[in-house]
Each structure stands twice: as structure tokens, then as C-alpha cells.
């Protein structure tokens, strides 16, 4: 009965089917924050509009095109293109249209500069793949219409800037022709297309820009061949490197005649340089070559003569040319010097004279300058001023003007690889009394205001005061741990190799650290960060230690390159130590054991299937030895369709004695037939998930036992034909198979086939259930299925008499060889949207009911109660079942707009959703990341264990006062009455 | 959103064919998103901007945007059955199943997957508006009374004022008996419970 009443108690809080997560509009920003980013800038174009606000239009590696305010760096508008729709080039046409070329040069779009509305879109086809170029000539007119010149897919197009109509096109079908440059000399009606054919022939086409007519075609052979890019040094001269990378070829095609000059690099620079590459630049007359250590700037003088103007060993970045007057071009150059960067702006024809020379202090946490974009403005004294936009190694974007950083954007946060959390320090000093007293008055005043708000008596100013008071409540952004566990640090690792710590209260960056170990070095050519793990989480003993995280990275894209470990203190952001490993890291297994300083033991599996134990201390080793036989793990080879189970064997039998290295053995393997099944998704339970109870009370007082095992793996496979996109297969030749596999024994506990279905599959595993989302081709709708797995072996234990008489099987030995007695229940429902991510809420004790968090294709996060995905739902539930909270079965899952966690916001480019339990059982913290970041608190069964934020204390006070007053009044009345009675 | 008035769907069916064939076996899908102006103008000002509407093919394989008049197109789509979704903050659009036929290009085959309604032309309209926020109920005496504290006060008042009335209506004989019973049981009266009550 106690269980039942407890159930009813829970039901009381969660029974209302109205959305549990719901927000009033004035509560936005109270518990959530939203940050918008764009990613690492690839290309920037400054708007030259005289009137209105100054803007810069950028395209980024996250595939975003955005218009930024040049004064503050805010986003005016922004569009995220599709993942396959990579932006190749952007420019501004007619001063009011942003032109983008994307998808390998096959889609050309025009956007309205002020508001970002798409104006037109053209699809450009061509005979073959090629480089693509977008030119917006300023003086090429066609009946008052500006013309865009686009070279893509082996075809040259002239396109109207106003409506995107193709005016003419010209194919370059020669099989081996590779276009290198498309040039439109200003002031002429000619277009030059230059390129290589068969890797040793230089080809030049001269084309009439008015009608696409081929005027001239010249070619010349160079026996030494070409390598790399070409650099354009004037409108009719290019510079290329020969195939050995040691001779510079200066090729000019003045008046349609090709002439060339060869200059060995060793003639220009005495000491040998090694392999050189040309740095592409558009500055006329000057180009740069770069070797491992040196960057050399070379000027072209006259008839292909070359002259070295500067040689530098500093890291350097050069901007494109900016024409500041009829015949003058300026460009910006940035050099690094210890803690500063030196910015110089030079004229193209005068290397030694600097237009501008500035030094700017630069935080070394931003790394090197990767890109520079220059823009000029006219000062009040009519001289030229320059501002430069720089892109740093950590993907941040900064605007420099007059030797200062005007604004900066942390756009590295647009590409988060992994997220973990860390606690904040404990508050050490007590709060001073004076502060409390001061706050008491404020507190009362605040509550009076709030009361006025609820009684609708507040004036608009009061309302604004209330709102701002709620938003900037200092309580939520304090740097100390709070009682409810709402304040935490989100530690995020970005693609640039930078770690950020974000405060959950307001999303500000507490510290950021560019990992030294992820810096390019001799030993490590292209380091990439992989994962974050909680290395040390001090509590109980070792309270004085700061928590730290482990960053696992490796030196290259392939999985057999050596790994790098770094350990970072989460309070300060200092890198405690870093280890360059001599082995690769294929898999990292955090073990459920910690040593005396609360350092978690981690097992790193390398490419040769050796296991390496970290930390390398004797204490860790002794703990590990104790648990040696209890450690199992699995690996998924999705190319071959094999899942394998592993265990430890013995110490490494190598030539070098390493007591932290262990040999492993294969225990089992599941091989999926490659002709009929292909692995598309594997999911396990979260390691730190807490399950409150194993028993589930169902209607009519019955109990079911959840099969709760940490070693369950959900695998989804699809027919190889159906692994492509929707619409590429018919329902007959596509199927999806879902498996539940025990990862210790390799036993398949459950297998179900969905005929006529295909991926992509998104799945989440929690407690004893798994929910997965896939596409049903027959209905042509998305579907979500749930599988719940229950333990039958303990079903008999419900009988109290058996327990009393000792006839239960609680103490009977559990053997891996016996088949576990499990039953599964499953059900499927239609779901409207495509998904990008799926997660489940997690709370501290696991008592609160669960919600699924669905990241939809519209970049919103929808909270869906798990009770909608209950396999026990029936069309007509009985009274008992209704009491239990079973919802009548419907064929599709409801989408309630109020249960969008992200309310009216979008988490653009959503990639992942992370849930972290707060200390308060009812509440879970949700962090969604993509190009944008979003954070909020969720209470899946409402906050039953604390007062809500909008709880009116004033109303409570008034009630108490009213009650006390009433007591006195009634006392008086009763006294009088008694007196009257006595008189009678 | 140029001059889009709440039009009946039927009126729109007479415009140009919504499918046009491309080269070889790649086709173009052309369509239009219509957000009637009656919607979106009430409530908060956020939705209704056409520039923030995205049209997605096959779960994000291709993404395109709307022109000012609401038209959109997907280029180079192979023949087959496809799914088009519209993402617009503030509106709920049903995904649309679109059949691109290789045999007779130009043939229109589109249906809403939510309610299986066929479309003879690819004009997508929101099924409903989405309200992301709860509406705050205006302050009323009833809501104050319904709150736990209101109920408490109400109950107390009821006890204080209605109970004596009930007692009055009782038969005097019975009343006396009850009072005697009470006295014999020693139930204290309210006044004696309170401080100072004992002074009488």
C-alpha cells in the first residue's frame, strides 16, 4: 500500500497531461541562456555602403553566411547552409546583394544585404568537376544590369545580378584542362581563363565578357610541369612553381601571347629552403612563398624579373589587396612577436613605405593569426584609416582599429567536439551580516514590486524593473557551488583545440585555454582533440585538490597516429601536465575505480589491442590488479560489421617491460552479414546514470523487475542499399534490425526487424529501455520505437510466502552460461519531424520521471514525456491502468509547442544535447550545442521539491497576516458572545 | 510576403506546374510556402519573417531558403519518393511526401504525411500556429481564491462565520445537550484556547 500511495504521490505531480515544461514569455532568460556564433571565418567582404550601419559579410567553415555589425561585432542576420552545400565564395554585388557560390560551384544565391532575405537562387550545371570562382566585376554592365562571372564545373557563366538569369555560358570541355585562375581586368571587356592541361601545358583563353565568345586560345608547354597553386601578380601575369618546387615560373600572357621566365628559388634566396609553396595573394606585383621556417616576399619587376623584398622567420599573415584609389593598392601584413602582433599596412608598389604600423597586445591563448581582412575608411581629416579583421588560431574573430581590439567574438564555440561538467569551488567564507541586512530591504522591495506585478498594479517602469531584477540576479552567476547544484562549469573542447569553461548561470566564459599539446609541432603534425573525460572529481577525502579533466587527442586524422593526453585544472584552466604517448588511442575506457586522490583510472586501448593503464602510479596498478578479471569492454568495427568483446589477458609481452601495459583477448564476436546488414547506430547507457528502483509497480498491484545491466548495447543495422538517403530505395529492399546485446557475454537478448524502414537511426538508452527514431518507408513518415526489457528470473520473488520460507532465488548463483530470462515489450509510434540528436533527462537519484529531449530538424529541442513511449499503452486503458498514468494509445506522438525546451529560439546547426543532473532531485540541466549554444534547467515532473521562482512570498505573508487578524477578530467575537451568554 | 492574403488553397491550384524536369535523370522540385497573414500577426512579433524559413529535403540532405514571394526549388533531385520539411519558428508544417516520377516528368504527386491529404500542387501551408509560451492568466479574484492560501483563508472564514450560524439553527434542546456533552468531555472553547481567554 505504501508503494501505491507513493505512486499516487508521484502521480499527483506528474499526472496532468498538459506540457510539463512550459514557460511564460517573461520567464525567458531566467534559467536559460542562448548564445549565437558563426564559426571560423573563411572569407570576409566589407560592405562599402556609405549610408547606414557598417557591415561585414562573412562565410565560415561551419557553413554559415552572416552579416555582422562592424562597430560591435553583433550578428545582423545569419543563415546556415546545408552540410553538403559548402560555401565556395562570397561577394557583394551592386552594393546591396550578397552573392554566395556554394555546393562546389553549382548553387548561386543572392541575399538582400539589409535583412538577409534570399532574393534569387540559380543552379549552375557543367560538364565536369573543377575549381570554382566567383567574380563580381564593378564595371561590367549589360543594359544597366551588373554581371556576375562564375566559373564552376568546367563552365564559365555570366549571370545577371538582379534576377540570377544566365546571360551566356561557355564550356571548357577539354578533358585534362584544370582551371587555375579566372581574371577580369578592370576597365576591359575581357575575361581570361588560365589553367593547366595535362599538368605540363599552360593554357590561356581570352573571352569576350559581353557574349562569351572565345577570342583567343594560346598554350605553351613547360617540360618541368607545375605544382600547387598559382599566384596572380598582375592582371596579365601569374607565378607558379614547377613540379620540383624549386623553380619559379613567371608566365605573362599580355595581348594574348604567352611568354615565360624561369627563376630558381636558390637564385633569390641563398640558403636552401626545402620544399616551398606559394601563398595565394591578390596583391599586384608581389607574391609570397613559404617553406617550413621562412616566408619570403618577392616582387615582380618588369619582364618577369624577381626581387626579394623581405624574408622573415616570424609567423605571418597577409590580407588580400584593397584598392584605395585609382592605381593604388594597399594590403595588411601581420607578424607575431612574443606577446604582441605587429600590423603593417603597405602599398603594393612601395614595400618600404608603411601606411600604418601598429602593435597590438594579443593574448597568447588566441594562438596565431590565421587570416587577415583589410578595410579602409576616411578619417575626419580626409586621410585614410584602416581597420583589419583577423581570424585567430582558436577561431575567434577580432576587429583591430587604431592599435586596439575594438571587439572580439569567440567563434571557436561554434564547433564543440565534446562537453563535460565540473563543480565550482565550495564557498569558504560565511556571508557577512551587513550584506544580509542591506539585502533584506532590497529583498522586501523586490517582493513588493513582484506583488504589484501579480496584482496587475505595476506601471510599465515597474515591470521593466522586475524583469531586469529577475534576469541579473547575482545569485545564479556566483563563482561558488550552490546548494541545489545549479551552478556548474561546462568544460567544452572545441575543434580549434581550445578548452572553454562556461558558467551555467549566465553562459559567460570563466576561462579559456589553448592547449599547448594540441599545438602543431615537429612530432605532432596535425593534432586533433578527441574527447574529454573527468579525470579527478574530488569529494569526501582529497577535498583540497582541484578537479581536473583529461583531454585525449591524437596527432593526425588516422586512428593509428600517437595520442596525446593533457590534464587541465578546471578551477583555473591551467594545464597541469601533458603526455605525448608512444602509442595510439583507439578507445578510452573510464573505469569505475578511483585512487586515494580521487583520480579516475582510465584504460586506453591502442591500435594493436594493448591496454594501457593511466594514471601510471603503483597505487592505481594495485587497484587495477584487484579488479583485473572484472574488466570487459567491446569494440565496434562498423566497416566490417563486427562487434567484439574483449577482456584482459596478462602483462604485455614486449621487449620493453611496461607494467602498465596489458595484453587483451577476444571473448566473443558478433558478425553481421555484410550483404544484408550494415551497422548504423550503437548506443549504451550512460556510465553515470542512477536508477532509483528496479521494481516497477504496474496496475493491479503487480510488480515487474527491470532488467538493469550496465553491459547492454543497442545496435541498429540497415540493409546496405537503404543506408543512403530517403527516396533512394523502395520499401521492399530496405529493412532495419534492432538488437540488444550483452557486452560481457556477447549474447543477443533481443532482435526485432522493421521491414520497409531505413536510417538514419538516432537512439537513446536509459535504465531498461531504449528509444530509437528511424524512417518508415511504407508510411513515408518517421517512426519512434521503444523497447523495454524486464527480468523474469526474479518474477517469482513477489510471493511473500516464498521469501519467508526461503524458497526464493535471490541467493542462487548467476552464471553467464545460462540464458537470462528476460521479456521485452515494444511499441512504435509515428513522429512528425526528422531528428538531429536525442537525449534523455537524468536526475541525481533517478526518482523523477524521464523526458526525452529530441533535437528536431528545425534546430529546436522538444521535451517528450517518456510516458508517451510506454509499450503498455493500449487504446482503451482500464481504470487501474489509467490510475497508473497510462495514456491511451495513439498512432503518433504529440508535439506540444509549449514543451519546446528552446521555446521560440533555434539552436542553429544543432549537434548534441547533454543532460547533467543537478543536486536537486527534480531538476536536470540541459545543454544543447551546435553553431549556437543553449542551456536551461528542466524539471520533468515539475519542481516538487522546491518553490518555483515565481512563488509569491508576499502573498504568503499577506495570508499569514490575514489569518492572524482573523484569529483576533474571531477571538473578540467569541469573547463577546461568551459574555452575552453569561449575562443571559 | 508580398501581398499574400489569406487565400483559399483551391484558388492557388491553377498556377504553373510545380514540377519541371531537368537534364538526364535529375529533376527539379519547385514549390511554394504560404504563410497566411492572418496568422503570426497576433501574439509575439517573432514569427512571420520569411527569411528565417528553411525548406529541407530528406532530413537535411538539401536545404534551401524562400524567395521573397515564398517560392523555393530543389535542383538535381533523382527520381523517387522524397520528403520535404519546412522549418519555421512559430508554425507547424506537416512534412510532405513528394514523388518525382521518372516516366512522366511534370506529374505532380505530393501528400501531407500528417493527415494523408493529397496536394495537387506543392503549396505548403502551416497546419497550425505554434504558441511556445503559456499565456499568463490575467489577475482575478477567482485565481487568488483557488490558490492554496486562498482556500485556507476561505475555509477559515467559512468556519468562523458559518459554523455559528449552523449552531443557531439547531434545536435549542439538542444544543443544550451538545453543550453539556462538550463540557463533560472538557473540550475547550476557542476563547479559552487563546491567551487571555482564561481571564473570563
Highest mean pLDDT among A25-29, A645-649, B48-52: A645-649
- pLDDT tens, residue by residue, A372-384: 998 888 888 888 8
For residue A4, pLDDT beyond 60: no
**Chain B: residue nearest A122 by CA?**
B75
pLDDT for the residue numbered A926: 94
Using a CB-CB distance cutoff of 8 angstroms, which residues of chain A are in contact with residue B44?
25, 904
* Contacting A residues, span 180-219, partner chain B, CB-CB under 8 Å: none
What mean pLDDT do residues A903-924 have?
Answer: 91
Residue found by looking up cell 559581353 in the block: A210
Q: How far is A148 from chain B (nearest CA, A)?
A: 19
What mean pLDDT do residues B122-144 have?
Answer: 79
What one-character-per-residue DSSP string does A869-883 give?
A: G-TT--SS--HHHHH
Q: Decide: A285 and A234 in contact? Cβ < 8 Å.
A: yes
pLDDT for the residue numbered B195: 53
What mean pLDDT do residues B116-122 have?
Answer: 82
Q: How confident is the model at residue A766 (pLDDT cuts 50, 70, 90)?
A: very high
Smallest Cβ–Cβ distance between A118 and the set B66, B85, B113 belongs to B66
* Contacting A residues, span 111-130, partner chain B, CB-CB under 8 Å: 112, 115-121, 123, 125
Alpha carbons A905 and A916: distance in angstroms, whole number: 21
Domain boundary assignment for chain B: 25-127, 139-183
Q: What does pLDDT average to over chain B?
A: 71
Q: What does pLDDT average to over chain A?
A: 83
For residue A823, pLDDT beyond 50: yes
What one-character-per-residue DSSP string does A91-158 give?
A: EEETTTEEEEEETTTTEEEEEETTT--EEEEEE---SS----EEE--SS-EETTEEEEEEEETTEEEE
Percent of chain B at pLDDT exceeding 90: 4
pLDDT for the residue numbered A90: 92
Give the residue among A150, A159, A148, A225 at the shortest CA–CA distance from A193.
A150
For residue A542, pLDDT beyond 70: no
- pLDDT tens, residue by residue, B170-196: 777 877 887 787 777 655 555 555 554
For residue A951, pLDDT beyond 90: no
Give the residue among A877, A895, A879, A897 at the shortest CA–CA distance from A887.
A877
- Angle ∠(A500,A503,A506) on CA atoms, nearest 5: 125
**What separation in angstroms does the CA of A17 have from each of A83, A857, A872, A893, B143?**
37, 25, 17, 13, 21
Cell numbers linked to A817: 552460461
- pLDDT tens, residue by residue, A52-63: 678 899 999 999
What mean pLDDT do residues A786-790 have?
Answer: 93
Q: Which has the higher per-residue pLDDT, A621 or A449?
A: A621
A409: left (phi over 0), alpha (psi -120 to 50) or beta: beta
Give the residue among A333, A326, A324, A375 at the shortest CA–CA distance from A352.
A333
What mean pLDDT do residues B53-61 have?
Answer: 88
Instruction: Give the alpha-carbon dihedral of A423, A425, A426, A427, to 10 degrees.
Output: -130
For residue A428, pLDDT beyond 90: no
Q: How confident is the model at residue A242 (pLDDT cuts 50, 70, 90)?
A: confident
SS3 A160: strand
> How far is C-alpha A840 from the geometric centre of its chain's CA atoms?
18
For residue A430, pLDDT beyond 60: no
Q: How confident is the model at residue B155 (pLDDT cuts 50, 70, 90)?
A: confident
Contact A904 B85 (CB under 8 A): no
Residue found by looking up cell 605587429 in the block: A342
Percent of chain B at pLDDT exceeding 70: 66
Alpha carbons A637 and A586: distance in angstroms, whole number: 11
For residue B13, pLDDT beyond 50: no
ipTM: 0.82
Q: Is A732 near chain B, with CB under 8 Å?
A: no
Cell numbers linked to A157: 557563366
Using a CB-CB distance cutoff of 8 angstroms, which residues of chain A are in contact with residue B150?
959
Range A96-103, long-range pairs (CB < 8 A, 24+ positions): A96/A49, A97/A161, A98/A45, A98/A57, A98/A65, A98/A67, A99/A134, A99/A136, A99/A148, A99/A161, A100/A59, A100/A65, A101/A132, A101/A134, A101/A150, A101/A152
Contact B134 A22 (CB under 8 A): yes
Smallest Cβ–Cβ distance between B60 and the set A106, A455, A857 belongs to A857
Low-confidence winner among A444-458, A600-614, B15-29 (lowest mean pLDDT): B15-29
Q: How confident is the model at residue A313 (pLDDT cuts 50, 70, 90)?
A: confident
pLDDT for the residue numbered B3: 36
Q: How confident is the model at residue A655 (pLDDT cuts 50, 70, 90)?
A: low
pLDDT for the residue numbered A431: 44
pLDDT for the residue numbered A880: 83
Q: Which has the higher per-residue pLDDT, B112 or A58?
A: A58
pLDDT for the residue numbered A805: 65
For residue B137, pLDDT beyond 60: yes
Using a CB-CB distance cutoff of 8 angstroms, which residues of chain A are in contact with residue B59?
725-726, 760, 775, 834, 857
Reported pTM = 0.86
pLDDT for the residue numbered A67: 92
Smallest Cβ–Cβ distance between B87 and the set A857, A962, A971 belongs to A857
Contact A834 B89 (CB under 8 A): no
Pairing of strands A757-766, A769-776: antiparallel
Q: How confident is the model at residue A879 (pLDDT cuts 50, 70, 90)?
A: confident
Q: How confident is the model at residue B22 (pLDDT cuts 50, 70, 90)?
A: very low
Domain boundary assignment for chain A: 314-412, 430-477, 679-804+816-831, 834-949, 952-983
Burial class (CB in 10 A: 0-12, 13-18, 19+), B107: exposed
Q: How far is A809 from chain B (nearest CA, A)?
A: 49
Contact A971 B134 (CB under 8 A): no
Using a CB-CB distance cutoff of 8 angstroms, which residues of chain B are in contact with residue A858?
54, 85, 87-89
- pLDDT tens, residue by residue, A167-225: 888 888 777 788 888 888 877 888 888 888 877 888 888 888 888 888 888 888 887 77
What mean pLDDT do residues A109-136 have?
Answer: 87
> How far is C-alpha A327 from the geometric centre of its chain's CA atoms?
45
What mean pLDDT do residues A125-147 have?
Answer: 80
Alpha carbons A907 and A74: distance in angstroms, whole number: 17
How many Cα atoms occupy the beta-carbon half-sphere of A623 within 13 Å?
20
Using a CB-CB distance cutoff of 8 angstroms, which residues of chain B are in contact with residue A728?
78, 80
Second CATH level (architecture) for the domain B25-127: Sandwich (2.60)
pLDDT for the residue numbered A464: 76
Amino acid at each position: 500500500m505504501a508503494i501505491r500511495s507513493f505512486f499516487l504521490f508521484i502521480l499527483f505531480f506528474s499526472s496532468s497531461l498538459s506540457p510539463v515544461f512550459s514557460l511564460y514569455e517573461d520567464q525567458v532568460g531566467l534559467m536559460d541562456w542562448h548564445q549565437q556564433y558563426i564559426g571560423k571565418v573563411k572569407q570576409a567582404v566589407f560592405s562599402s555602403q556609405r549610408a547606414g550601419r557598417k557591415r561585414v559579410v562573412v562565410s565560415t567553415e561551419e557553413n554559415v553566411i552572416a552579416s555582422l555589425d562592424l562597430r560591435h561585432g553583433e550578428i545582423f542576420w545569419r543563415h546556415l547552409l546545408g552540410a553538403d552545400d559548402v560555401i565556395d565564395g562570397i561577394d557583394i554585388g551592386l552594393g546591396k546583394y550578397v552573392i554566395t557560390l556554394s555546393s562546389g560551384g553549382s548553387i548561386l544565391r543572392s541575399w538582400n544585404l539589409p535583412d538577409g532575405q534570399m532574393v534569387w537562387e540559380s543552379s549552375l550545371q557543367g560538364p565536369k568537376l573543377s575549381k570554382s570562382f566567383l567574380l563580381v566585376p564593378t564595371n561590367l554592365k549589360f543594359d544597366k544590369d551588373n554581371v556576375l562571372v562564375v566559373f564552376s564545373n568546367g563552365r564559365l557563366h555570366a549571370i545577371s545580378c538582379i534576377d540570377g538569369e544566365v546571360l551566356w555560358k561557355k564550356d571548357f570541355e577539354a578533358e585534362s584542362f584544370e582551371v587555375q585562375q579566372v581574371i577580369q581586368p578592370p576597365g576591359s571587356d575581357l575575361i581570361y581563363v588560365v589553367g593547366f592541361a595535362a599538368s605540363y601545358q599552360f593554357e590561356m583563353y581570352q573571352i569576350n565578357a559581353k557574349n562569351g565568345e572565345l577570342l583567343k586560345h594560346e598554350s605553351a608547354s613547360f617540360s618541368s610541369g607545375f605544382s600547387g597553386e598559382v599566384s596572380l601578380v598582375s592582371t596579365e601575369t601569374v607565378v607558379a612553381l614547377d613540379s620540383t618546387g624549386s623553380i619559379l615560373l613567371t608566365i605573362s600572357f599580355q595581348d594574348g601571347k604567352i611568354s615565360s621566365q624561369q627563376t630558381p628559388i636558390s637564385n633569390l634566396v641563398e640558403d636552401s629552403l626545402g620544399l616551398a609553396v606559394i601563398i595565394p595573394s591578390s596583391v599586384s606585383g608581389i607574391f609570397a612563398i613559404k617553406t617550413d621556417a621562412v616566408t619570403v616576399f618577392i616582387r615582380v619587376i618588369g619582364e618577369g624579373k624577381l626581387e626579394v623584398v623581405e624574408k622573415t622567420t616570424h609567423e605571418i599573415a597577409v590580407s588580400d589587396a584593397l584598392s584605395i584609389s585609382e592605381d593604388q593598392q594597399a594590403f595588411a601584413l601581420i607578424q607575431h612577436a612574443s606577446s604582441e602582433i605587429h600590423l603593417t599596412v603597405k602599398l603594393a608598389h612601395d614595400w618600404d613605405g608603411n601606411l600604418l604600423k601598429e602593435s597590438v597586445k594579443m593574448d597568447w591563448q588566441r594562438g596565431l593569426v590565421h587570416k587577415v581582412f583589410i578595410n579602409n575608411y576616411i578619417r575626419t581629416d580626409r586621410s585614410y584609416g584602416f581597420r583589419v579583421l583577423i581570424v585567430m588560431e582558436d577561431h575567434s574573430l577580432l576587429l583591430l582599429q587604431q592599435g586596439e581590439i575594438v571587439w572580439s567574438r569567440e567563434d571557436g564555440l561554434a564547433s564543440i567536439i565534446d562537453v563535460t561538467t565540473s563543480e565550482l569551488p565550495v564557498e569558504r567564507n560565511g556571508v557577512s551580516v551587513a550584506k544580509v541586512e542591506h539585502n533584506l530591504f532590497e529583498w522586501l522591495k523586490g517582493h513588493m514590486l513582484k506583488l504589484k506585478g501579480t496584482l496587475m498594479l505595476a506601471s510599465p517602469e515597474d515591470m521593466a524593473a522586475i524583469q531586469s531584477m529577475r534576469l541579473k540576479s547575482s545569485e545564479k552567476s556566483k563563482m561558488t557551488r550552490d546548494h541545489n547544484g545549479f551552478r556548474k562549469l561546462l568544460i567544452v573542447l572545441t575543434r580549434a583545440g581550445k578548452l572553454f569553461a562556461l558558467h551555467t548561470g549566465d553562459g559567460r566564459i570563466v576561462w579559456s585555454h589553448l592547449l599547448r599539446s594540441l599545438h602543431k609541432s615537429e612530432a605532432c603534425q596535425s593534432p586533433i582533440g578527441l574527447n574529454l573525460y573527468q579525470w579527478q572529481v574530488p569529494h569526501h577525502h582529497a577535498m583540497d585538490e582541484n578537479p581536473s579533466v583529461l583531454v585525449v587527442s591524437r596527432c593526425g586524422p588516422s586512428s593509428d597516429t600517437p595520442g596525446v593526453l593533457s590534464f587541465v585544472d578546471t578551477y583555473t584552466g591551467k594545464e597541469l601536465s601533458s603526455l605525448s604517448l608512444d602509442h595510439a588511442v583507439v578507445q578510452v575506457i573510464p573505469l569505475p575505480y578511483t585512487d586515494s586522490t580521487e583520480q579516475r583510472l582510465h584504460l586506453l586501448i591502442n591500435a594493436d589491442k594493448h591496454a594501457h593503464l593511466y594514471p601510471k602510479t603503483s597505487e592505481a596498478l594495485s587497484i587495477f590488479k584487484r579488479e583485473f578479471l572484472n574488466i570487459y569492454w567491446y569494440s565496434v568495427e562498423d566497416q566490417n560489421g563486427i562487434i567484439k568483446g574483449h577482456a584482459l589477458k596478462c602483462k604485455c609481452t614486449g621487449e620493453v617491460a611496461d607494467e602498465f601495459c596489458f595484453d587483451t583477448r577476444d571473448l566473443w564476436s558478433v558478425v553481421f552479414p555484410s550483404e544484408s546488414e550494415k551497422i548504423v547506430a550503437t548506443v549504451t547507457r550512460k556510465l553515470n546514470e542512477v536508477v532509483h528502483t528496479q521494481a516497477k509497480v504496474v496496475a493491479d498491484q503487480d510488480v515487474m523487475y527491470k532488467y538493469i545491466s550496465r553491459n547492454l548495447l543497442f545496435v541498429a543495422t540497415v540493409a546496405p542499399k537503404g543506408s543512403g538517403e530517403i527516396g533512394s530505395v523502395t520499401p521492399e529492399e530496405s529493412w532495419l534490425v534492432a538488437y540488444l546485446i550483452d557486452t560481457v557475454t556477447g549474447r543477443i537478448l533481443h532482435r526485432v526487424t522493421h521491414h520497409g524502414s531505413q536510417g538514419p537511426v538516432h537512439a537513446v538508452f536509459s535504465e531498461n529501455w531504449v528509444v530509437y527514431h528511424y524512417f518508415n518507408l511504407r508510411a513515408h513518415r518517421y517512426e519512434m520505437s521503444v523497447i523495454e526489457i524486464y527480468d523474469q528470473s526474479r518474477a517469482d520473488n513477489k510471493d511473500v510466502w516464498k521469501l519467508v520460507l526461503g524458497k526464493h532465488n535471490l541467493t542462487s548463483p548467476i552464471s553467464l552460461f545460462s540464458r537470462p530470462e528476460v521479456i521485452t515489450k515494444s511499441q512504435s509510434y509515428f513522429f512528425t519531424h526528422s531528428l538531429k540528436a536525442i537525449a534523455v533527462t537524468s536526475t541525481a537519484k533517478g526518482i523523477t520521471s524521464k523526458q526525452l529531449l529530441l533535437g528536431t530538424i528545425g534546430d529546436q529541442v522538444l521535451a517528450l514525456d517518456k510516458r508517451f513511449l510506454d509499450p503498455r499503452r493500449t487504446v482503451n486503458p482500464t481504470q487501474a491502468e489509467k490510475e497508473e498514468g497510462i495514456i491511451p494509445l495513439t498512432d503518433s506522438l504529440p508535439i506540444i509547442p509549449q514543451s519546446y525546451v528552446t521555446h521560440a529560439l533555434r539552436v542553429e546547426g544543432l549537434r548534441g544535447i547533454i543532460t547533467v543532473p543537478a543536486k536537486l532531485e527534480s531538476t536536470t540541466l540541459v545543454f544543447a550545442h551546435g553553431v549556437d549554444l543553449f542551456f536551461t534547467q528542466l524539471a520533468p515532473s515539475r519542481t516538487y521539491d522546491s518553490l518555483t521562482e515565481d512563488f509569491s512570498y508576499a502573498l504568503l505573508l499577506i495570508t499569514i497576516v490575514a489569518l492572524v487578524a482573523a484569529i483576533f477578530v474571531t477571538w473578540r467575537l467569541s469573547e463577546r458572545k461568551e459574555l452575552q451568554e453569561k449575562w443571559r | 510576403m508580398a501581398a499574400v492574403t489569406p487565400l483559399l488553397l483551391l484558388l492557388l491550384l491553377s498556377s504553373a506546374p510545380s514540377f519541371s524536369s531537368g537534364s538526364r535523370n535529375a529533376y527539379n522540385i519547385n514549390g511554394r510556402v504560404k504563410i497566411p497573414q492572418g496568422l503570426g500577426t497576433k501574439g509575439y512579433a517573432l514569427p512571420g519573417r520569411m527569411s528565417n524559413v528553411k525548406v529541407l529535403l530528406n532530413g537535411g540532405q538539401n536545404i534551401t531558403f524562400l524567395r521573397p514571394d515564398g517560392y523555393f526549388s530543389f535542383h538535381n533531385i533523382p527520381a523517387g519518393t522524397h520528403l520535404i520539411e519546412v522549418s519555421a519558428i512559430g508554425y507547424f508544417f506537416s512534412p510532405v511526401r513528394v514523388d518525382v516520377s521518372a516516366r512522366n516528368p511534370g506529374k505532380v504527386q505530393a501528400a501531407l504525411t500528417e493527415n494523408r491529404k493529397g496536394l495537387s500542387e506543392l503549396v505548403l501551408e502551416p497546419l497550425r500556429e505554434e504558441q511556445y509560451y503559456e499565456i499568463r492568466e490575467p489577475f482575478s479574484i477567482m485565481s487568488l481564491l483557488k490558490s492554496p492560501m486562498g482556500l485556507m483563508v476561505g475555509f477559515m472564514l467559512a468556519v468562523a462565520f458559518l459554523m455559528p450560524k449552523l449552531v443557531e439553527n439547531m434545536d435549542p434542546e439538542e444544543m443544550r445537550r451538545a453543550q453539556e456533552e462538550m463540557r463533560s468531555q472538557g473540550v475547550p472553547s476557542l476563547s479559552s484556547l487563546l491567551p487571555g481567554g482564561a481571564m473570563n
